[in-house]
Chains A and B, each alone.
Chain A
Amino acid sequence: MQTFDLAAQGLRALNQTLHGLNGTTNQTAWEVVNPKGSHAIAVGLDAPIDVTVKGSTGYYCAGMNKQATVRVKGSVGPGVAENMMSGTVIVDGDASQYAGATGRGGLLVIKGNAASRCGISMKGIDIVVHGNIGHMSCFMAQSGNLVVLGDAGDALGDSLYEARLFVRGSVKSLGADCIEKEMRPEHLELLADLLKRGEADHLAKPEEFKRYGSARKLYNFNVDNASAY
């Protein structure tokens, strides 16, 4: 286990050190102490390493992650795991707005609540939130899966493309073109796997969720609307 003291050594040194591991390494376990809400901790990683941040972070923690596992023993600011490509990010506390935005792959787990715009424009990432999510979540989400054990705020899945949304609690309101859909056996199977990987299989069962998806009425050009352009 390598320990990095962010207060003493600084953010740039941390990220340069972690980027230096891209390719091959035998130093796979890292611990970052004294994060003190700093921005851009462990961004742009591209190695199968395991980084644990001992405290809360600011903006963009673990953004653009590839391969790495980043664990945050606290809460995260806006844009955690933004544009993640692969790997895993696990947040023990809450996440601020636009968690997992534009993520293309990998798994983001938030054990507390996520604020507004969770999974906005997601493109393949899987997001599991143990608590609630805020308004405008999964706006224009294109693919991937969002699982919410708690409640969802206003305008869930507005202008949704093909992402699958699973919510166990209440949904305050659905956004334009987002509808409740039938939960078929393949969805229950998918959900069981997501709950397991999201460390939530002891907290909820797939049967307790509802599935939401796109009505597919908004995102194809409709000639009847031509006069509106």
Chain B
Amino acid sequence: MCGIVGLFLKDPKLEPRLGELLTDMLITMTDRGPDSAGIAIYSRGKDGHAKLTVQSADPDRDFADLPEKLGKAIGASVKLAQKDTHAVLDLPSDRLEAARHAMREIAPTVKVMSAGEGIEIYKEVGLPKDVAARFDVAHMQGTHGIGHTRMATESAVTTMGAHPFSTGSDQCLVHNGSLSNHNGLRRELIRQGMTFETQNDTEVAAAYVSHKLQEGQNLGQALESGLDDLDGFFTFVVGTKDGFGVVRDPIACKPAVMAETDQYVAFGSEYRALVNLPGIDNARVWEPEPATVYFWER
């Protein structure tokens, strides 16, 4: 069991409230996953800028000289904004890939949570309400976001084992379920050049989608391919810079409820997670069909 929440805003007037709405949804799903929690928030980036969200078990030691070291490595100015164990590094978007590679050399104890123009990912071990409070998620603004509360089954309860997983620029994926062919698929994806941080099954699904997107598929096509290639139980919610997708396996025993109004598309593992959204009483509420891809793009 895990809990998933997602919110894709259509009405810019709600953007200042994205973090507040998602935090409430996330905490409601604590019963489904009390061991760790994470959230991916997408906001409108600044032209020419990109963000690297990083995490350290010892932020005081690792973050103090990180902007200087990274700036020197990529030959550009880097600004750091710390939030608890995480920090967002602001840098020129054309240096993003270089920065991602340089991090392994200059700060091996610092983990990259996400990279992209819009995305920031925060995740830690602990109750969803505590994780949300540590990163002050409630005050974040943005266009869309995905959250996850984890009850671990397939790998250890660690920061890196928490969801969302991000394996490509501005991409993230969360999962309720368990995959059964992830080891074979991980080996295949490694042969194709993908890299992995954990032994977690969900990271394989995330890398699979990233790989398909690299090959030129759009989000909908990548999720369709996943229905053929991923074996196991899954409800996935996926985010890209401008998109938001949902897919369930053909057996569809992992729960999912969606709601749509003129203002937003929302996802919850249970209807409970959606009850405080504005206008929910008049929303179109439905259960996504098995083996059916849903996606929205701006």
Contact = CB atoms under 8 A, between A and B. Distances in A.
Contacts of B289: 134
Given A96-B255, A97-B253, A116-B252, A37 B271 contact: yes
Interface in B61-100: none
A94 interface: yes
Contacts of A116: 251-253, 290
The prevalent SS among residues of B at the interface is loop
A56 B271 CA distance: 8
Interface string B263-278: 0000000111111000
Contacts of B286: 94
Interface in B268-298: 270-275, 285-287, 289-290
A38 interface: yes
B271 A77 contact: yes
A120 B144 CA distance: 37
The prevalent SS among residues of A at the interface is loop
Contacts of B255: 77-78, 96-97
A115 interface: yes
A11 to B, nearest CB: 12
A95 B275 CA distance: 17
Interface residues of B, number: 17
Contacts of A78: 255
A5 to B, nearest CB: 15
Contacts of B274: 37
A135 interface: yes
Given A96-B255, A97-B252, A75 B271 contact: yes
B255 to A, nearest CB: 6
A134 B272 contact: no
Contact of A77 (B251, B270, B275, B290): B270
Interface string A115-158: 11000000000000000001100000000000000000000000
B285 A75 contact: yes
Interface string A56-99: 11110000000000000001011000000000000000101100
Among B250, B272, B273, B286, chain A packs the most CB atoms within 10 A around the CB of B272
Contacts of B270: 37, 58-59, 77
A55 to B, nearest CB: 8
Interface in B19-69: none
Contacts of A217: none
A36 B290 contact: no
B272 A36 contact: yes
Interface string A16-55: 0000000000000000000011110000000000000000
Among A37, A38, A58, chain B packs the most CB atoms within 10 A around the CB of A37
B287 A115 contact: yes
A96 B275 CA distance: 17
A94 B257 CA distance: 11
A37 B257 CA distance: 11
B287 A94 contact: yes
Among A39, A59, A78, A115, chain B packs the most CB atoms within 10 A around the CB of A115
A97 B290 CA distance: 11
Contacts of A59: 270
A39 B273 CA distance: 12
B249 to A, nearest CB: 11
A227 B270 CA distance: 46
B285 to A, nearest CB: 7
A38 B31 CA distance: 12
Contacts of B253: 97, 116
B285 A37 contact: no
B275 A37 contact: yes
A-B CB proximity, top 6 nearest: A37-B272, A37-B271, A36-B275, A115-B287, A56-B271, A37-B275
23 contacts: A37-B270, A37-B272, A37-B273, A38-B272, A56-B271, A56-B285, A57-B271, A58-B271, A59-B270, A77-B270, A77-B271, A94-B285, A96-B257, A96-B287, A97-B252, A97-B253, A115-B252, A115-B287, A116-B251, A116-B290, A134-B289, A134-B290, A135-B290
Given A36-B275, A39-B272, 7 more contacts: A38-B272, A58-B271, A94-B287, A96-B257, A115-B252, A115-B287, A134-B289
